Amino acid sequence: MSAPRPVYSVVVSALVFVSFYAAHGQTETVLYKFTGTRDGVNPSPSIVATEGNLCGITQVGGLGYGTVYVLSPNGSGGWNETTLRTFTLAGADGYDPQSLTTDGKGNVFGTTNLGGANGRGTLYELTRVGDHWVETVLFSFGTGQVGVNPFGNLIVDAKGNIFGTDNIIITEYTEAVYEASPSNGYAPNVIYTTGFTTATGGNGGLAVDASGNIFGISVQAFLPQNATAFELSPNGSGGWNSKVLYTFPTRIEPESPPALDKAGRIYGTTVTGGASNNGTVYRLFPGANGQWSAQILYSFKGGTTDGSGPYSAVVFDESGDMYGTTSSGGEFNDGTLFELSPVGEGRYQEKILWSFNGTDGSGPSSALIRDSAGNLYGTTPTGGDTGCGAFQGCGLAFELTR
């Protein structure tokens, strides 16, 4: 049984999510610099757009153990930050927030890795009611066989079912994929175990296609085993069929959640590998015999040329161009925001849209959000020159205007 569901509310202004900057080439604008006080430190890669706002988390700061925040356009070309939740050791909603997702109806779902009624993490929902955001704890992990300590990204399918990853204890912590359905009161149900231990936290991630099939990337902690890509497909009887699609080469780290194109192919980034071992953008695709193969679409050169260490998932536009970030390198060695444009089957041309310089962000690793005008939004865990010791600042949220 899950614990009783505490409810909290915070007032935040309702504004429309639009870009206020003219599109003359590429312009990077800092939307908000975190200060390391009530608003938290080091915004995590998890950021979502909902009801005209940007919603994200910091894994530390606030009252010490992370925050949930919302950024809202203020109507004058700037953005306001509102801290929705500050997590504490004693809070019923847990602490060490891990991920956010949205169901497309304005509701935001998130997880914490620790705390809650059983000390093993929580699943919670944030819903706007008028000018308030209301938080409800949906489930506290650590009961029965549903797993513990959720990590990694969350996804939602067309029916509102939530999927994520956590740990089950077999002989050690082993990565599992769970489903939390509104028809079952969001009590998670383990639907797949990868066999990979997760002693250092989550890697890879999940994606869902229009037919409800789940695709995932698993990386063994400390890489004693090769990373894999897998698929979970509904079996028509309430269960799931699983299949390992591809096993990555030794010592390759596909850290990003997968991205799917309209043809069902899988795209992602590796932080190592490629011609210069500075990371790659790859594509996985099925052949005529049903076997999946990999193709490197771009190998990063490193240094000031084009960056290195891409951790973030890629995002597509309507033309099939891809956008992502590298966590280091570029002109100032603080990371880059890049574009890959198709120039033929399996061939892409790379363009650096922005090199971060510390003041405007450092070490980007977030999956970007793209709006209808083609503008890109994301976070950097450091940068901004707002204190926080030797980290060049406490992190920030940015917009790149096209």
Report the number of distinct structural domains present in the chain: 1
Q: Is residue 385 part of a domain?
A: no
Question: Checking DSSP bridges between strand 396-401 and strand 376-380, what pairing results, if any?
Answer: antiparallel
Phi/psi of residue 306, nearest 5 degrees = -150, 10
Query: Cα(104)–Cα(108) distance, rounded to whole angstroms?
Result: 9
Phi/psi of residue 310, nearest 5 degrees = -75, 115
Average pLDDT (288-296) is 93
Q: Is residue 208 part of a domain?
A: no
Confidence of residue 389 (pLDDT cuts 50, 70, 90): low
Q: Is residue 273 part of a domain?
A: yes
DSSP, collapsed to helix, strand or coil, labels residue 18 as: coil
Q: Which residues contact 185 (CB under 8 A, 6 or more apart)?
A: 2, 138, 139
Please give the sequence-ordered ranges of beta strands (E in DSSP) within 248-344, or none if there are none.
Answer: 259-260, 266-270, 280-286, 292-299, 315-316, 322-326, 336-344
Of 68 and 5, the structure prediction assigns the larger pLDDT to 68
Q: Is residue 319 part of a domain?
A: yes
Q: Is residue 278 part of a domain?
A: yes
Query: Cα(96)–Cα(89) distance, rounded to whole angstroms?
Result: 9
Q: Is residue 159 part of a domain?
A: no
Query: Cα(197)–Cα(278) distance, rounded to whole angstroms?
Result: 25
Q: What is the pLDDT of residues 45-62, one digit of tens each?
A: 889 998 889 999 998 888
Q: What is the pLDDT of residues 171-180, one digit of tens each?
A: 677 889 999 9
Residue 223 has pLDDT above 80, yes or no: no
CB atoms within 10 A of CB 400: 20
Q: What is the pLDDT of residues 348-376, one digit of tens each?
A: 999 999 999 999 999 999 889 999 999 99
Which pLDDT belongs to residue 4?
41
Structural domain for 339, as ranges: 267-355
Which pLDDT belongs to residue 6?
46
| DSSP H or E stretch at residue 184 | none
Confidence of residue 131 (pLDDT cuts 50, 70, 90): confident
End-to-end Cα, the chain, rounded Å: 49
Q: Is residue 378 part of a domain?
A: no
Alpha-carbon distances of 216 from 44, 48, 94, 193, 212, rounded to whole Å: 20, 20, 26, 11, 13
For residue 339, what are its two tokens?
Answer: 């574009």
Which pLDDT belongs to residue 221?
62
Q: Is residue 392 part of a domain?
A: no
